[in-house]
């Protein structure tokens, strides 16, 4: 259950500062926790911790359960004697403002291999125990990753047929051939969950709860599709018969063609949603609260024919409904919020309301001057989470000056009493914090008043501008945390 009248900051782990090209789970993450505590916050919201997939998106991951080994803290590995000072120096990246994924993907695996070579005997018993503890997903995942490497990074659809369809004799031979590689990938997962558990404990001890993220879909190039094709709508060649997306919406007139395989909901129902229950139990261990991405897909989902040229060619199909919601709510320790944005009709709104889960209100969508938006702070209900923006929206300053029409801008300036001397981002934070919503969240970019260059993701687009923004350490200073605490205290979201 969410704490009543609290607040937090959204910052992906990847966006943390540090010298190694991407945010990690060590000292810089702890400093950010300290920054939040000094600012009177109760929540750190992050994006999915899973390995990134196509377009470096955490919503197109090769696994629903694995952790992203790029987040492994290199200094902590050096403290364990797994890396040398010279190797740490070689891992430093000259650009502190962006994740250079091409450079990271090229250089980081060799470094992690060196750590494994030095640590595989030291950690052998722990890794074997971890494989047994996580036997429901980890053995399949590590073999999937080893096979992907063997096939030079080819996508699952392009693998040799006997490996792709898990022909038993071929699979056994490959498992024996790739045993060392499987141990390497298991070693990385063991270290990831070791580091993440320690970081979460550090945060919780300082009064900071972790708000995680549950992507509704998996990648077509994933361990789940390979190991459990029965979970999805696939043909006899294990290829999707239709894929996920959304119709035209606020982000694009063409709709969004995500390309994820769709679930076989009839099969899931027959199993009592066992895979989803396991996923929920996994999330309950990782996070204190979980945002369910694309929650409206539980009611109805957009099904796009595989060969469709546009997402507009899709149609709505019924989802699992309250059956799945009840299964997830029955998982001990799993607290949920619903990402209820997008194309919603009255039946979907009723479904979300009947679920009882708090939904989201987005400030950058609130200022229609001829309407009475449900996202305006005074219209927010207590059982909601108000955001100044999300990882998919423009930053507030970007919206205000680059995307809002003149009438929207004028209304926002008047409603929020925005002042340049205070900072337009801070005005948005004050507007969200004063709302009745039980929880208020702002992306760190809005605290800092940053514009278009700091946007995290533009849905429907691909390129190095997505998922790559990072904050500089100097921005996480006492002046910012002190002002954040004053704002938070003013609107009675902290003591």
Q: pLDDT band at residue 29, thresholds of 50, 70 and 90?
A: very high
3-state secondary structure at position 6: strand
Q: How many Å apart are CA 402 and CA 394, to the nearest integer?
A: 9
- Report residue 371 as tokens: 């309407």
User: What pLDDT is stored for residue 250 in this prediction?
Assistant: 67
- The residues, ordered by sequence, that sit 6+ positions from 312 with a Cβ below 8 Å of its Cβ are 247, 248, 254, 255
Whole-number average pLDDT of the chain: 95
User: What pLDDT is stored for residue 366 in this prediction?
Assistant: 96
Q: How many Å apart are CA 149 and CA 130, to the nearest integer?
A: 22
User: What pLDDT is stored for residue 256 in this prediction?
Assistant: 87
DSSP state of 152: T
The CA distances from residue 234 to 242, 246, 263, 445, in Å, are 8, 20, 9, 41
**Residue 284 pLDDT greater than 80, yes or no:** yes
Q: How many Å apart are CA 440 and CA 43, to the nearest integer?
A: 9
Q: pLDDT band at residue 171, thresholds of 50, 70 and 90?
A: very high
Tally the residues of the chain. Answer: 495
For 381-425, write each residue's pLDDT tens digit: 999 999 999 999 999 999 999 999 999 999 999 999 999 999 999
> Phi, psi at residue 122, to the nearest 5°?
-60, -40
The CA distances from residue 191 to 17, 66, 77, in Å, are 21, 11, 9
For 115-140, write each residue's pLDDT tens digit: 999 999 999 999 999 999 999 999 99
**Residue 251 pLDDT greater than 80, yes or no:** no
Share of the chain above pLDDT 90, in %: 90
> Between 227 and 341, whose confidence is greater?
227
| Region of residue 93 (left: phi > 0; alpha: psi -120 to 50; beta: else) | beta
User: What pLDDT is stored for residue 108 in this prediction?
Assistant: 96
User: What pLDDT is stored for residue 2 in this prediction?
Assistant: 73
Active-site residue, 339 included = yes
Catalytic residue among 87, 281, 392, 473: 392
- Beta bridge mates, 211: 45, 289
Catalytic residue among 140, 339, 408, 446: 339
DSSP of 298-323: GTEEEEEETT-SSGGG-EEEE--THH
Which residue in 297, 124, 327 sits closest to 217, CA to CA? 297
**Residue 94 pLDDT greater than 90, yes or no:** no
Catalytic residue among 293, 313, 343, 473: 293
User: What pLDDT is stored for residue 1 in this prediction?
Assistant: 63
CB 473 within 8 A of CB 450: no
Active-site residue, 288 included = no
Active-site residue, 162 included = no
DSSP of 54-123: GGG-TTS-S-SS---GGGS-HHHHHHTTSS-HHHHHHT--S-SSB--HHHHHHHHHHHHHHHHHHHTTTT
State the pTM of this model.
0.96
- Report residue 454 as tokens: 């700091």
Which residue in 433, 438, 437 sits closest to 483, CA to CA? 433
């Amino acid at each position: 259950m969410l704490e009543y009248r609290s607040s937090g900051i959204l910052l992906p782990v990847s966006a943390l500062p540090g010298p190694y090209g991407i945010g990690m789970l060590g000292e810089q993450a702890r400093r950010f926790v300290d920054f939040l505590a000094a600012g009177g916050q109760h929540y750190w919201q992050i994006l999915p911790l899973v390995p990134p997939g196509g377009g470096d998106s955490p919503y197109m991951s090769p696994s629903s359960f694995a952790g992203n080994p790029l987040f492994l803290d290199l200094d902590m590995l050096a403290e364990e004697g797994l890396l040398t000072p010279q190797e740490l120096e070689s891992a430093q990246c000259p650009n502190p403002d962006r994740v250079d994924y091409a450079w990271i993907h090229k250089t980081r695996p060799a470094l992690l291999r060196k750590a494994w070579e030095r640590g595989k005997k030291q950690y052998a018993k722990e890794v074997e125990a971890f494989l047994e503890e996580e036997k429901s997903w980890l053995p399949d995942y590590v073999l999937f990753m080893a096979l992907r490497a063997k096939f030079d990074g080819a996508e699952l659809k392009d693998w040799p047929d006997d490996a792709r369809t898990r022909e038993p004799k071929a699979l056994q031979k490959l498992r024996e051939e790739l045993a060392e590689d499987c141990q390497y990938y298991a070693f990385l997962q063991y270290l990831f969950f070791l580091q993440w558990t320690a970081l979460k404990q550090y945060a919780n001890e300082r009064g900071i709860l972790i708000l995680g993220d549950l992507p509704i879909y998996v990648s077509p190039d994933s361990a789940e599709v390979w190991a459990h094709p029965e979970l999805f709508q696939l043909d006899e060649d294990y290829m999707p018969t239709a894929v996920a997306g959304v119709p035209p919406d606020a982000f694009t007139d063409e709709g969004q063609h995500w390309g994820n395989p769709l679930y076989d909901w009839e099969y899931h129902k027959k199993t009592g949603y066992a895979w989803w229950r396991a996923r929920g139990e996994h999330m309950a261990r990782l996070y204190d609260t979980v945002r369910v991405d694309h929650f409206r897909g539980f009611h109805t989902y957009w099904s796009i024919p595989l060969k469709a040229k546009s997402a507009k060619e899709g149609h709505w199909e019924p989802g699992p409904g309250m059956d799945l919601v009840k299964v997830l709510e029955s998982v001990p320790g799993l607290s949920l919020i619903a990402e209820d944005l997008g194309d919603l009709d009255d039946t979907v709104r009723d479904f979300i309301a009947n679920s009882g889960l708090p939904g989201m209100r987005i400030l950058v969508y609130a200022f229609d001057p001829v309407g009475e938006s449900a996202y305006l702070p005074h219209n927010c209900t207590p059982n909601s989470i108000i955001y100044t923006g999300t990882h998919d929206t423009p930053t507030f300053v970007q919206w205000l000056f680059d995307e809002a029409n003149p009438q929207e801008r004028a209304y926002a300036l008047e409603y929020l009493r925005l002042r340049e001397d205070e900072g337009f981002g801070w005005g948005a934070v004050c507007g969200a914090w004063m709302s009745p919503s039980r929880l208020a969240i702002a992306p760190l970019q809005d605290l800092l008043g940053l514009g278009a260059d700091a946007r995290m993701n533009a849905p429907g687009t691909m390129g190095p501008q997505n998922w790559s923004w990072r904050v500089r350490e100097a921005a996480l200073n006492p002046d910012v945390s002190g002002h954040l605490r004053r704002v938070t205290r003013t609107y009675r979201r902290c003591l």
